Chain A
Amino acid sequence: MSLLELNRVQAYYGGIEALKGISLTVGEGEIVTLIGSNGAGKSTTLKSICGQVKTSGEIRFKGEAISSWLPHQIAASGIAHVPEGRRIFPKLTVKENLEMGAFSVKDKALVKERIEQAFAYFPRLKERYRQAGGTMSGGEQQMLAIARGLMMKPDILLLDEPSMGLAPVLVDQIFEIIQELNASGMTILLVEQNAYHALQIADRGYVIQTGEITMQGKASSLIADEQVKESYLA
């Protein structure tokens, strides 16, 4: 059984059908990437999983149908979503941002412990823990967004364009972090425009085009595919 399973999921914005029946699965311990051009429906897929857009079809997480749940219930069930554009709380401090990531954790000592873990993993955040999130650089904000997502010790991490707008050096660093997280057992669904990079670290991949999955397979075979090369890796 897959950890996360989407079965012919359709999503609508107003009257427009943004997803036309997407099916995909993410198994425990995998990195699965969803690649495609702007407006193909990558972010909408993640938002559908998190209950932020109205959907029809079936979404199962740990075997349970979650598509009728409210966003905060879905999050509390173990899905951490690091949204596009990082969306850290600009006027909350770094520490408060992290605390909000652990909102579902009742045990205060545990929250403290996880903040220490986050600081150990991202030393830059420790230097800035009393600073307002909005005053940090793009790379630091991305690290904070990921650290915030990890605070709830999720079963799966959804990453939406984590490399967007970052300098090449930082992009490499973010991809390294994703690999390390996966090596330590974290399941990851990665949405990327940077298809080459994403396919390099992923186990499997899906190509999405105008709301439909057009190709899927092992990341290593997608990266060698002529059509994928032409459309996304050129």
Chain B
Amino acid sequence: MNDILHTLPQVLIDGLALGAIYAVVALGYTMVYGILELINFAHGEIFMTGAFVGTAVLLAAQGTGLAASLPPWLFYLLIMLIAMMFTGALGVGIERVAYRPLRKAPKLISLIAAFGVSFVLQDVVRFIAELRTGNYIVSSSSLYGERMSLPASSISSLFGDATVKTNTLIILGAALLLMVALDRFVNRSKWGVAMRAVAQDRETASLMSINVNKVIVLTFFIGSALGGATGVLFAQQYGTIDPYIGFILGMKAFTAAVLGGIGNIRGAMFGGFVIGILEMFASSNLGTLTGGSFGAEYKDVFAFSILIIVLIFKPEGLFGRAVKEKV
């Protein structure tokens, strides 16, 4: 028990950072599902592509000395914007090429197409990475890698001190900013309301002279840009990336979306933080809790058990509404 309390501040800090990443990635799943009832399993790979694009820009700029001439915050912002534009366009392209021709086909077909897109993205990114660096695992330096100590022990002697990377704070700030911006967009702006209208009743929305295809393109662009931005934050936080990081992370973000009620934007944000904190908690305490029979490597089991439990007991998610058959 004391061990658990001792590590709690660190668990919370790391859990919030990871949760923020899951939350923003989960938005991409939930937005596309809300509007097309399609689980875009390629979204994890869009996140991964964002991480690679960001890292590529970082390495290229550092190579030419351009990076040194810019203040790091501006450089960071620039990298994120480039990655967002790139992945946003990538998402729109994927919708156009892989999903739109299948829109009237059974949902299972689009789902298989989504897996196909995932594999293509993994291999293309791997190919380019190996071509350029000779290795598909790519490392980069963190722009804000310095650490500071959070003296949690001064609150209560039960707690241990936590260390926080400056980048962790950047993740939290950027993720919150993106989430608030999206929430405002969806609830206040004309195109945001149109997005919700299309999600609720596509046919009727078109009778209101809403261009449904344009709304769908916009949804893919925003969702994918958010995924790409998170990829940059992730690469900055953990330093090393490979073309397969999108798979497990995407699965967990998807779990977060299901936990919050898929299709529900605020639910996805909440679900992301819950999964992130629970995963960090499991990772640091599973060994203690089970007397050493399960270690931190079982943390993923923890996240996916949540998915199964939610699907069994509350399939509509914490904030979702049960779907009633239309008469």
Footprint of B on A, CB under 8 Å? 50, 52, 70-73, 75-76, 80-81, 83, 87, 89-92, 96, 99-101, 103-104, 148, 152
A89 and B201 contact, CB distance less than 8 A: yes
Shortest beta-carbon contacts, A-B, top 7: A75-B209, A71-B206, A76-B209, A104-B209, A87-B204, A72-B211, A81-B207
From A76, A89, A152, contact of B204 by CB (8 A): A89
B200 and A92 contact, CB distance less than 8 A: yes
Asked if B11 is at the interface (CB within 8 A of a chain A CB), the reply is no
Q: B42 → chain A, closest Cβ, in Å?
A: 27
B196 and A91 contact, CB distance less than 8 A: yes
Complex CA distance for A103 and B190, rounded to whole angstroms: 8
- Considering only residues 212-229 of chain B, those with a C-beta below 8 Å from chain A are 212
Q: B213 → chain A, closest Cβ, in Å?
A: 8
- Would you mind naming 30 contact pairs between A and B with Cβ atoms under 8 Å apart? A50-B207, A70-B206, A71-B203, A71-B207, A71-B212, A72-B209, A72-B210, A72-B212, A75-B207, A83-B204, A87-B204, A89-B200, A89-B201, A89-B204, A89-B205, A91-B196, A92-B193, A96-B197, A99-B193, A100-B193, A100-B194, A100-B197, A100-B205, A100-B208, A100-B210, A101-B208, A103-B190, A103-B210, A148-B208, A152-B209
**Residues of B contacting A50 with CB < 8 Å?**
207
**Residues of B contacting A99 with CB < 8 Å?**
190, 193
Mark each residue of chain B from 168 to 199: 1 if its CB lies under 8 Å from any CB of chain A, else 0: 00000000000000000000001001101100
A90 and B200 contact, CB distance less than 8 A: yes
Complex CA distance for A32 and B209, rounded to whole angstroms: 24
> Which of B190, B193, B201, B208 gathers the greatest number of chain A CB atoms within 10 Å?
B208
**Residues of B contacting A100 with CB < 8 Å?**
193-194, 197, 205, 208, 210
**Residues of B contacting A152 with CB < 8 Å?**
208-209
**Residues of B contacting A90 with CB < 8 Å?**
200
**Residues of B contacting A148 with CB < 8 Å?**
208
Q: B196 → chain A, closest Cβ, in Å?
A: 6
Chain A residue with Cβ nearest B193: A96
**Residues of A contacting B201 with CB < 8 Å?**
87, 89
**Residues of B contacting A81 with CB < 8 Å?**
207
Tell me if B's interface is mostly helix, strand, loop or mixed: helix
A75 and B206 contact, CB distance less than 8 A: yes
Known: A103-B208, A103-B210. A91 touches B200 (CB 8 A): yes
**Residues of A contacting B208 with CB < 8 Å?**
72, 75, 100-101, 103, 148, 152
Chain A residue with Cβ nearest B321: A91
Chain B residue with Cβ nearest A88: B204
B206 and A72 contact, CB distance less than 8 A: yes
**Residues of A contacting B212 with CB < 8 Å?**
71-72
**Residues of A contacting B204 with CB < 8 Å?**
83, 87, 89
Complex CA distance for A80 and B204, rounded to whole angstroms: 11
- Considering only residues 267-281 of chain B, those with a C-beta below 8 Å from chain A are none
New contact pairs (11) apart from A71-B212, A104-B209, CB-CB < 8 Å:
A71-B206, A71-B207, A72-B206, A75-B206, A89-B204, A96-B193, A99-B190, A99-B193, A100-B193, A100-B194, A103-B210
**Residues of A contacting B203 with CB < 8 Å?**
52, 71, 83, 87
Chain A residue with Cβ nearest B206: A71
Chain A residue with Cβ nearest B191: A103
**Residues of A contacting B190 with CB < 8 Å?**
99, 103
Known: A75-B207, A83-B207, A148-B208. A103 touches B194 (CB 8 A): yes
Q: A34 → chain B, closest Cβ, in Å?
A: 18
**Residues of A contacting B205 with CB < 8 Å?**
89, 100
**Residues of A contacting B197 with CB < 8 Å?**
89, 92, 96, 100
Chain B residue with Cβ nearest A108: B190
Chain A residue with Cβ nearest B215: A72
Chain B residue with Cβ nearest A149: B207
Q: B104 → chain A, closest Cβ, in Å?
A: 12
**Residues of B contacting A73 with CB < 8 Å?**
209
Complex CA distance for A83 and B200, rounded to whole angstroms: 15
Chain A residue with Cβ nearest B187: A96
**Residues of B contacting A71 with CB < 8 Å?**
203, 206-207, 212
Complex CA distance for A216 and B194, rounded to whole angstroms: 40
Complex CA distance for A76 and B206, rounded to whole angstroms: 10
**Residues of B contacting A104 with CB < 8 Å?**
209
Mark each residue of chain B from 93 to 125: 1 if its CB lies under 8 Å from any CB of chain A, else 0: 000000000000000000000000000000000
